[in-house]
Chains A and B, each alone.
Chain A
Amino acid sequence: MKTSFVSTLGVSNATRLSLVKSQSELARASHELSSGRHADVGLKLGARTGQSVELRQELARIETILDTNGLVSARLDTMQAALSNVQGTAEDFLGVLIAVRENAQAAEVVAPQAELNLKGLVGTLNANLNGQYLFAGIDTDTPPLADYAGPPASPAKLAVDAAFLGFFGFDQDDPAVAGITQAQMATFVDTQLAPLFADPQWGTIWSSASDENLSSRISGNEVIATSANANEQPFRDLAMAYTMLVGLGGDGLAQPAYRELVERAIGLVGGAMQDVTTVQARLGVAQNRVADATERMGIQRDILTRQVTGLENVDPFEAATRVNALMSQVEVSYSLTARIRQMSLLNYL
């Protein structure tokens, strides 16, 4: 009775099977070593593959928001620069107005500068970045303001001229303007001119901008307003100040009437300068929030990248050790198989 028995087929099968197993394991290990990732990520991670897919989507989303935040920052920077420009022009103009307010020949100095400033204001507010009019609110495909003097004369100029003619009964370049008193001028400005710069007339004759500012998602859950528009009060005030000194008769006016205009312009420009600062501060807050969100998401991106790497990548040292161990195992298998094959009674008969 045999207590232990082994069949020839059993012996050769055992070595063959272990060889095949080691070889497929070796193929997998060397793939992992060269790619640095699991050979079959789904099979290795199982349910955590879902997590890996999710992390990757999160990562892609953060990178997209980082990209769009870059665009938002560029827009905000451009707007800040434009506003500083408006502010500087207004400040210089205020200096000139204060210097000349007692001077009889003031209009000769002020009028050309006011005209230039009005042109500049319109140009600045029509600033364009990547095909978008920055100060147009959400209506970014049309320039918010039209050139005042033209040609062709803007609806605003036509409206101002019509108001003047309607109130005084003659045009601005009529010699009769010299007869306008200070009180008449004050009444005209209050009752006829001011409404042109207030809603609803502003929106029809001056500006085509939307009151609604652009909003942007600057992080996963923060949507903030990231622009200013041409309908904000300081721009109306500046436009009104410049218009008064350009289009209401100018040097033809008697000294008291003209002085009334200069005084009012000083008030408007002073107020507008303060308001521009407020708008700049608002955009500054948005800039800060974008910068904060960008920094925060940069950190988040690093963490997520590490997590994805931790899930999907293999330890290169471990993989290298495994490849070496498997290679020597396969070699031992080869020599064993060869020696077992040679071991037969036939050789000795």
Chain B
Amino acid sequence: MSLSLALNSAQTALSVTSQQTAITARNITGANDPFYSRKTANVATTGLGSTYVASIGRAQDQALYARMLEARSDAAARTAHLEGLGRLALTVGDPQDDFSVAGALGAFQNALQMHADGPSDPILAGAVLGRAQDLAERLNLATRTVQGARATADAEMATSVGTINDLLARFETVNRAVVAGTAAGSDVTDHLDTRARILTELSQEIGVTTITRGDNDMVIYTDSGVTLFEKTARAVTFERTFAYDAGIDGAAVFADGVPITGPNATMAIESGALFGHATLRDETSGVYQKQLDEIARGLILATAETDRLNDPPVLAPLAGLFTWDGGPALPPGTAAIDNLSARIRVNPGVDPAQGGDLTAIRDGGINGAAYDYNPADAASYSGRLQGLLGTLGAQQPFDATAGVDPDTTLARFAAGSVGWLEAARKQADAEAAYQVTFLERTQEALSNATGVNLDEELALMLELERSYGASARIIAAVDAMLDSLLQAVR
């Protein structure tokens, strides 16, 4: 019976070789797919010497894969935050162009200085008015930019939440196929690849941790421990806010009913693009906006008009060159006032285009005769202008929660605000660069551990070709032997 045994072995060898060839073909096809992991045929031998493909293996490295997910979430968070900071930095531009609020403030002070030396010259007064309007406009614009950046971050969060829900739904389908296939003992490696791909995409949006249970069933949690997927996808919900100003807080993102972003989050996520956008929207922009509001408040206070009739003053100081929608009263308190930088404007009382009087810059008196510094209307009176230069250059108390040295001059505070923003951007850039490089390295390591090498597959092909030929030759030999045996019998 050994001849038929040899024939049988050779037959099974042919079948195994063709299956292996099919796997090699799959590997070659997937060589350029970053999510494809190398497949191998696990060949087993029966007691009678014949072989068969017992299962199909899939190259994997769980530890490396988990680290890659983590790196991807961190890199996405830092990159998203950096992008947002880049949008905020539009309010600063290149220091050379003096586009920042600090630059406009400097230009305004210089115009005042020129005017103080020629108080009788209406052209210089016009220059002061122009620079003052520039400064107010620059503050308004900066607020719009910051709030625009918040709205953009909000939209990105909505997109991110949509993507997360979409991915979780797809994950559910694939996970079900994996569990069913594993239970039935069929080849699920391609489903596993797809599942890994979905998880990788998910980690881009939100930091995740996973646990794999029996039958390859996977459970996904956020990096803070809220369940995103267990048997079924949990809903991630988010209410978009379309119009922002400094007084409006964005809505939180909820996963499975638990808030995962914002100040009230009990289980706040710490990575993923969603986290990066939320940080920018809820924290960074808020502090920067506060700095702008403080500059506006400092400006209104420094240019206020005081009681000139009574000494000590009886009448309250009122808004002078710069005012706000709550004017002519000064902004109350010592803390930042929401949106003040959007509400500040040049007092219409000095703007001839709005029925004002240009000489009020030199003389004061926008709030009536009691506030007139130059009742005699002397053409070259420079006391008020010198006084303005003095108060603008003097130390003022600022809101200590604004992140910049609170006891300083207005100009230094404005410059400090620029420094604060650029320092945050520099740090975010360094962190993002590090995380992206780390991600690239982990991805490379993972690709090397689980990816396909074309040359190896080709070499394997040659081997299989040879082995196929040999098996075929055995069948031919056994055939010849059986033939000669039958000839002898005949």
Contacts and interface: CB of A to CB of B under 8 A. Distances in A.
B105 interface: yes
A65 to B, nearest CB: 6
Contact of B31 (A9, A13, A140): A9
Contacts of B106: 56-57, 60-61
B103 A7 contact: no
A49 interface: yes
Contacts of A41: 94-96
Contact of B454 (A67, A136, A140, A344): A344
A44 to B, nearest CB: 8
Interface residues of B, number: 67
Contact of A53 (B95, B121, B462): B95
A217 to B, nearest CB: 6
Contact of B103 (A5, A53, A142): A53
A43 B418 CA distance: 11
Interface in A52-71: 52-54, 56-57, 60-61, 64-65, 67-68, 71
Contacts of B417: 50
A215 B382 contact: yes
A60 B416 CA distance: 18
A217 B117 contact: yes
Given A8-B453, A57-B102, A65-B113, A47 B31 contact: no
B447 A344 contact: no
Contacts, number: 193
B415 A53 contact: yes
Contact of B102 (A46, A54, A212): A54
Contacts of B100: 53
Nearest to A48: B419
A56 B95 contact: yes
Interface of B: 31-34, 38, 89, 92, 94-96, 98, 100, 102-103, 105-107, 109-110, 113-114, 116-121, 376, 378-383, 386, 389, 411-412, 414-423, 425-427, 429, 440, 443-444, 447-455, 458-459, 462
12 contacts: A9-B32, A9-B34, A9-B451, A10-B451, A46-B422, A49-B421, A57-B411, A61-B109, A138-B380, A138-B381, A216-B382, A345-B454
Interface of A: 5-10, 13-14, 17, 37, 41-54, 56-57, 60-61, 64-65, 67-68, 71-72, 130-132, 136-142, 210, 212, 214-217, 223, 312, 344-346, 349
Given A7-B31, A71-B117, 18 more contacts: A7-B452, A13-B443, A13-B447, A45-B426, A47-B420, A49-B92, A50-B102, A50-B417, A53-B418, A57-B105, A57-B109, A57-B415, A130-B121, A132-B379, A137-B380, A138-B119, A139-B380, A141-B120
